Amino acid sequence: MRVIVTTANGGVSVMKVEARPDPQPKAGQVLVRVKAAGLNFADILARQGLYPDGPPKPCIMGYEVSGIVESAGEGVEPGIVGKAVIAMTRFGGQAELVAVSRAQVFEKPDSLTFEQGAAIPVNYLTAWALLVTMGGLKKDEAVLIHNAGGGVGLAALDIAKHIGAKTFGTASMGKHDFLRARGLDHPIDYRNQDWLPVLKELTGGRGVELVIDPLGGNSWKKSYAALRATGRMGVFGMSVASASGIKGKLRALKAILSMPRFNPLGLMNRNRAVFGLNLGHMWGEGEKVAGWTQEIMRGVSEGWIRPHVDRAFSFDQIRDAHTHIESRKNIGKVVLVP
Ligand SMILES: NC(=O)c1ccc[n+]([C@@H]2O[C@H](COP(=O)([O-])OP(=O)(O)OC[C@H]3O[C@@H](n4cnc5c(N)ncnc54)[C@H](OP(=O)(O)O)[C@@H]3O)[C@@H](O)[C@H]2O)c1
């Protein structure tokens, strides 16, 4: 099979397409012939050497795929063979074939293309956990979605709109028209101006009940300052560190040094909460994640979960795909097709 290999830490030139022996499904696994694999920001950070959760290099990244079940291992119902599925893969997804636990596979609804199917797991599970499970977002509450034009950002917007929240989102200006059309109430340009006073003005000085922040560093200080009483801040990434080589390491260090430190007494007296999410550390909580997946699939059938694929790149275009995300060109999901 052909696979995408991150051969070392570095720039896009470390990305290669190589051949590997076909995997065989073990007991409890199915073998999926991949039609589309998600490319995530984590894959970019892993290539840059800034993603401690990634496998040792050389490695095949890939947290999610859609495809057709080609065969089933011992103990798996044979009826699943031939079905179109979506799967969460703990790496190895960016390949023509991947063996994955049956428990991490669910049927792809006919209403979704394979490319849209591969855009579901990471973005929507992350957004669900942030907004619903941990963020407890309610109707008429205000939510600030940072990087609203990214994959997680658009997923969060779908969910926040369904809940009936007032939505504020930071994004590059070029993404604002698209975001308005998707239902974002207040897009904020955060690249050419300080977004905090803009948000405060839009909210009559009060701020918001929920912020989700994948930027890290100093941004977490500002996001915390954007909360009104009973406000919650969910932190889930460190995008500000993104860069190859020494530059990335220095940015990560700067982000760590400029992070806020929270005091429980301060949280108590200001009626605020801070929480963190790392979906990649939820593999031991399969039942919980399966429950979230069911809710998301209900959203697909009811039409309020609308995965938006920005662009599909072939495996051979993997370097272009990385550059596309790194240069902030994507609106929504980037997928890879064999
Ligand atoms: N903790 C978790 O479980 C979890 C799960 C999924 C994702 N994440 C994190 O969430 C963040 C977004 O992921 P995603 O998959 O939604 O990414 P994405 O689709 O690639 O979108 C990221 C967006 O972030 C903005 N951005 C900010 N800083 C950037 C930088 N240095 N380089 C490139 N873009 C930058 C860009 O929007 P603008 O053009 O508007 O600036 C970009 O479109 C990442 O930090 C990722 O690691 C965390």
- pLDDT digits 0-9 by tens, 65-87: 999 999 999 999 999 999 999 99
Average pLDDT over residues 136-148: 98
- Report the SS3 class of residue 85: strand
Whole-number Å distance, alpha carbon 152 to ligand 1 midpoint, is 7
**pLDDT band at residue 200 using 50, 70 and 90 as cut-offs:** very high
Whole-number Å distance, alpha carbon 189 to ligand 1 midpoint, is 16
- Report the SS3 class of residue 181: helix
Percent of the chain with pLDDT strictly greater than 70: 100
The string over 31-55, giving b where at least 16 C-beta atoms fall within 10 Å of a residue's C-beta and e elsewhere, is bbebbbbbbbbbbbbbbbbbbeebe
For the whole model, what pTM was predicted? Answer: 0.98
Average pLDDT over residues 170-175: 98
Q: Which residues line ligand 1 (CB under 6 A)?
A: 40-42, 122, 126, 147, 149-153, 171-172, 175, 214, 236-237, 239, 242, 277-280, 325-326, 328, 330
Whole-number Å distance, alpha carbon 264 to ligand 1 midpoint, is 29
- In 3D, which of 310, 304, 308, 225 has the Cα closest to residue 260? 225
Atom from ligand 1 closest to the CA of residue 174: 39
- pLDDT digits 0-9 by tens, 84-132: 999 999 999 999 999 999 999 999 999 999 999 999 999 999 999 999 9
Can you give the pLDDT at residue 143?
98
CB 234 within 8 A of CB 130: yes
Can you give the pLDDT at residue 326?
96
Protein residue whose Cα sits closest to atom 22 of ligand 1:
150
- 223: phi then psi, degrees, rounded to nearest 5: -65, -40
How is residue 241 annotated by DSSP?
A: G
Q: What is the mean pLDDT of the chain?
A: 97
- Would you tell me the crossing angle of helices 151-163 and 121-128 to the nearest 10 degrees? 50
Strand positions, DSSP E, 52-182 = 64-72, 84-88, 97-101, 105-107, 142-145, 166-171
How is residue 49 annotated by DSSP?
A: T
Protein residue whose Cα sits closest to atom 5 of ligand 1:
126
Q: What is the 3-state secondary structure (H, E, C) of 243-289?
A: CCHHHHHHHHHHHHHCCCCCCHHHHHHHCEEEEECCHHHCCCCHHHH
